[in-house]
Amino acid sequence: MKKDIIALLLAGGVGSRLSILAKLRAKPAIPFGGIYRIIDFTMSNIANSGIDVVGVLTQYKPLSLMEHIDNGRPWDLFGKTRLVEILPPKTGEEISDWYKGTSDAVFQNLGFIEDFSPEMVLVVSGDHIYYMDYNTLITCHKNNKADVTIGLIRVPMRQAHHFGIASIDRNGRVVDWAEKPRKPKSNLASMGIYVFNARMLKTALRESARKGGTDFAKDVIPLLLKEKKRIFGCEFNGYWRDVGTIDAYWNCNMDLLKPDSGLNMENWNIRTNLFSRGEIGAKPSAYIGKDARIISSLVSSGCIIEGTVKYSIISPGVIIERGARVIDSIIFHNTIIRKNAFLNRAIVDKNVKIGANVNIGSGRLRPNITLGMNLSTGITVIGKNTIITDRVVIGKNCIISSNLNFSKTKTKYIQPGSTV
């Protein structure tokens, strides 16, 4: 099947700075905005841009991701000429191994690309929150007769050292490139979105691999720059967030509640897979009880809210009992919050049970002992399936692992900044 362009979505990321949220799932599979997962944004962007063949490169904990993408139908990438294929590492071929990096993952799947003999290959990462029509980038690419076109965005100078940084001339051609430079020459950061000339990409990947290269930003782009290939930058001005840290993840979720944040999902046509395995029936609409009080929050189907919810994002099937207060928090699917519990700036993963009168996120502000400044703004994270017994007090900046049962440890107090 011949295609003009196909997309390869890099979804293998470990996301270690997201701590326990990414412990049991790949970073792109982390829930976002109540009913979505992070990858939905990239998947929807691809589908909305009319690109209809997508390879999803997975490696780290791919199961929830694979289940979520399923047959691609939620994004209409399902049919005789439209498809999503999961591309995990494989054995049995000449070049086959675990993926050693972003470019290595694509290199090991050149066969997938060749099946469609495309003119162009879009390589995108699956862990950013944004809305973009990739056709802008493609048009840019064609007009410049480019070999590679990179999506670029202006970031605050003090954050530039976290990104791949490009310098461009007045025609938009990339003249300098540095991955996570200590002293950035500009604040034009790579969004991890590339349009490649397919034929050139194949040659470049082979050559880069021969020299031991495994990463697009670190190896392939510098190699192409050295070879004087036509690399262009295409600047994007919309909302774009890297949600690589707990702070960034929390802030980006909270942007959903701010009318002028630029994260305008109502108009973005972001799609998700509403099916979840093992659940027979559809979740009924959210029930808001007689004494419930809700201020500026998102509430999903299947929730039963009897308590108070302020500035929070509540995923499907969450129960919040009478007298409980949930403030500035993000609660994932099917978590139960019992009577008079208090949650402040908490991120609570799926199927957690929080007992009556539990207090999470009050007291002193002390940076987390393991994540340091990466968890220092008072957010506490509770891992999947954990059971917190009645009257337990958990301080700010804490990380409570998945699958813990407080009734076994008899713990009653977790001091601020702890990791359990």
How many of the chain's residues bind another protein (CB under 8 A)? 40
Tokens of 389: 């017994």
356 binds another protein, rule: CB under 8 A: no
Kindly indicate which of the ranges 51-59, 281-289, 361-369, 376-384 contains the residues binding another protein, using the contact rule CB under 8 A: 281-289
Residue 228 near residue 203 (C-beta atoms within 8 A): no
Site for another protein in 159-188 (CB under 8 A): none
66 binds another protein, rule: CB under 8 A: no
Q: What is the DSSP letter of 319?
A: E
295 binds another protein, rule: CB under 8 A: yes
Q: How far is the CB of 312 from another protein (least distance, A)?
A: 10
**How far is it, in rounded angstroms, from Cα 373 to Cα 365?**
12
Burial class (CB in 10 A: 0-12, 13-18, 19+), 80: exposed
30 binds another protein, rule: CB under 8 A: no
49 CB-near residues (< 8 Å, 6+ apart): 132, 133, 134, 135, 138
Q: What is the DSSP letter of 373?
A: G
286 binds another protein, rule: CB under 8 A: yes
Kindly indicate which of the ranges 147-155, 197-205, 294-302, 344-352 contains the residues binding another protein, using the contact rule CB under 8 A: 294-302
Q: Which of 15, 28, 33, 417 touches another protein (CB under 8 A)?
A: 33
Residue of 403, 414, 369, 276 whose CA lies nearest to 20: 403
Tokens of 287: 């029930």
282 binds another protein, rule: CB under 8 A: yes
Kindly indicate which of the ranges 23-31, 172-180, 207-215, 308-316 contains the residues binding another protein, using the contact rule CB under 8 A: 308-316
**How far is it, in rounded angstroms, from Cα 312 to Cα 302?**
16
348 binds another protein, rule: CB under 8 A: no
Site for another protein in 311-330 (CB under 8 A): 313-316
50 binds another protein, rule: CB under 8 A: no
Residue of 292, 280, 347 whose CA lies nearest to 319: 292
CB burial readout 180-196, b (16+ within 10 A) else e: eeeebebbbbbbbbbbb
203 binds another protein, rule: CB under 8 A: no
Q: Which of 274, 370, 373, 407 touches another protein (CB under 8 A)?
A: 274
**Residues making contact with another protein (CB under 8 A):** 33-35, 74, 256, 265-266, 269-272, 274, 279-290, 292-302, 304, 313-316
